[in-house]
A = this chain, B = another copy of it.
Amino acid sequence: MGGARSWWGWGDEAGALSGGEADALVGRVAAFFPGQDFADHAPPSPEDLPVAPSRVRVPGSLAHLVSAGVVDRLSHSRGKAFRDVVRNLHGDTAHVVDLVARPGSEREVVDVLDWCGREGIAVVPYGGGSSVVGGVEPRFEGPAVSLDLGRLDRVLEVDEVSRAARIQAGVYGPHLEDRLRPYGLTLRHFPQSFEFSTLGGWLATRAGGHFATLYTHIDDLTESMRVVTPVGVSESRRLPGSGAGPSPDRLFLGSEGTLGVITEAWLRLRERPRWKAGASVAFPDFDGAVAATRAIAQAGLHPANCRLLDSTEALLNAGTPVGGGVLVLGFESAHHPVGGLLDQALGHVREYGGTPLGDAAHSDAAPDGAAAAWRSSFLRMPYQRDVLARRGMIVETFETACTWDRFPALHHAVVSAAREALEWACGGGGVVTCRFTHVYPDGPAPYYGVYAPGRWGSTVAQWDEVKAAVSEALIGAGGGITHHHAVGRDHRPWYDRQRPDPFAAALRGAKAALDPAGILNPGVLVG
């Protein structure tokens, strides 16, 4: 991470692929899609784009917090999905926030909400802006302020006895880990957006993290939260467990900026791992690989990594040609050797025809070479996506979770729907990949990738066709519309069908009580 943030694409400019790297990537992809036009389309100069003037006048008392600069406003008005990046490349300025506000204290958050409530200005809370579901885009009429929490970036308190820390919501992942390192503690929550997303964003979207099993959603790492709502500040008690009524935190977790602005939270930490063990296992068929993964998920072994790659995913992202899939297993502990756990897991995989690739690695160094390489590659993927998006490729992912009994039918329905939609929208071609990012005793969280040759100028519309088709398939086959990408505006039609109607009524009732003027992130979840 370094240098200026890209206004149109992922991450920062220093992290982007070099010209040579980009050419090499395009060369590899072009081999799959002969005949495709891979001409590069550079982003426009943002200062030259026809951005409507700000409709909002800020009171003098808040003037020092706000920016009306065009690039600031543009970069706060889109997330980082494929469709966001491509619309930026086309210079789309349809919906742009009128101002960006950067409060430096909770008091200033309250002041901005008060002002916007009085004036009927919508407020879009903004963490790292890495939403891939339209969560930060002011896709509505009427004035909007983007509330960027980035100045609230401190670790306020560390409780080494209970292993927890009170942390401000605007802190980015690497900064957070840097500040915990002197204590020998870590949150160990590493979404793919880790470098460019914030604690507040993880909490507001129920982010999924590093661990493949056990507590991995940020929900489970949350001890208490502090949330500024238009009717007052809500602070829950630090409690390791509670049975006192419905959980206050669980209402705000996943509220995506519609019920309040999360300003800080107590998070559960752990010691940094000292022991690690890992292996990759090849399978001759995908069904056997799925069955082995299920056996491990149900055996109480709790691997830190248990990532099943289908054969296409294994070839594209790990360079491993296999018939049925590759299961990447990893164990870690701060307290005891984990080689025995890996051996037990390998016992399960052999029952389902799995063969370990090379020697299993038992390591007490952190991070070990293979994991570090994978992590680096994982964090680079969105930059590669940007290169290909500029060349007219459709490159996007979507994800879900379902119970094990439903996975075979869901997988078939989703892959079929994706291929049909690609045929219809793109005239054929394209690759659909699948991996499991997380596994639970009762089901996996499948994560799909789509790589297809598009027509420059139409790739957003083409992707939207594919996305609608796979979303219908997911909801029809008993999956959820999202496991860890959140709902935002893009998932709303399917979320509304997934969500029980009485719960929707309850959520609207809660929203009316907390946000009576309806200013908080309109169009997301409710309203």
Interface residues of A (CB under 8 A from B): 159, 161-164, 205-208, 214, 217, 219, 223, 227, 229, 231-248, 250-256, 259-260, 268, 270-271, 294, 298-302, 333-336, 340, 344, 401-406, 438, 440-445, 478-487, 491, 495, 498-503, 505-514, 525
Contacts and interface: CB of A to CB of B under 8 A. Distances in A.
Given A250-B250, A335-B300, A442-B164, A242 B401 contact: yes
Contacts of A340: 340
Copies of this chain, tallied across the complex: 2
A250 B403 CA distance: 19
5 tightest A-B contacts by CB? Answer: A509-B513, A240-B443, A240-B440, A509-B509, A250-B250
Contacts of A298: 163, 270-271
Given A234-B502, A404-B162, A502-B233, A243 B483 contact: yes
B514 A502 contact: yes
Given A232-B501, A300-B335, A162 B442 contact: yes
Given A217-B241, A299-B336, 16 more contacts: A159-B405, A162-B406, A227-B502, A239-B402, A240-B401, A240-B440, A241-B438, A241-B440, A241-B443, A243-B482, A244-B254, A244-B498, A244-B499, A301-B335, A301-B336, A335-B344
B242 A246 contact: no
B404 A161 contact: yes
B223 A499 contact: no
A483 B441 contact: no
Contact of A234 (B217, B236, B500, B514): B500
A333 B503 contact: no
B259 A444 contact: no
A208 to B, nearest CB: 6
A240 B509 contact: no
A506 B259 contact: yes
Nearest to A238: B403
A434 to B, nearest CB: 16
A232 B502 contact: yes
A237 to B, nearest CB: 6
Q: Which has the most chain B C-beta neighbours within 10 Å: A161, A164, A243, A440?
A: A243
Nearest to A159: B405
29 contacts: A159-B405, A161-B294, A161-B404, A214-B214, A229-B502, A232-B502, A236-B500, A238-B403, A239-B402, A239-B443, A239-B479, A240-B440, A241-B401, A241-B484, A244-B482, A244-B491, A244-B495, A244-B499, A245-B255, A245-B499, A246-B255, A251-B506, A259-B506, A270-B300, A299-B335, A301-B336, A505-B514, A509-B511, A509-B514
Nearest to A401: B241
A97 to B, nearest CB: 23
Given A505-B514, A506-B259, A508-B513, A243 B498 contact: no
A24 to B, nearest CB: 35
Contacts of A503: 234, 236, 248, 251
A491 B234 CA distance: 21
Nearest to A501: B232
Contacts of A440: 240-241
Contacts of A401: 239-242
A502 B226 CA distance: 11
A436 to B, nearest CB: 11
Contact of A241 (B227, B445, B478): B445
A255 B250 CA distance: 13
Nearest to A405: B161
Nearest to A271: B298
Contact of A243 (B333, B334, B486): B486
A440 B223 CA distance: 11
Nearest to A229: B502
B240 A246 contact: no
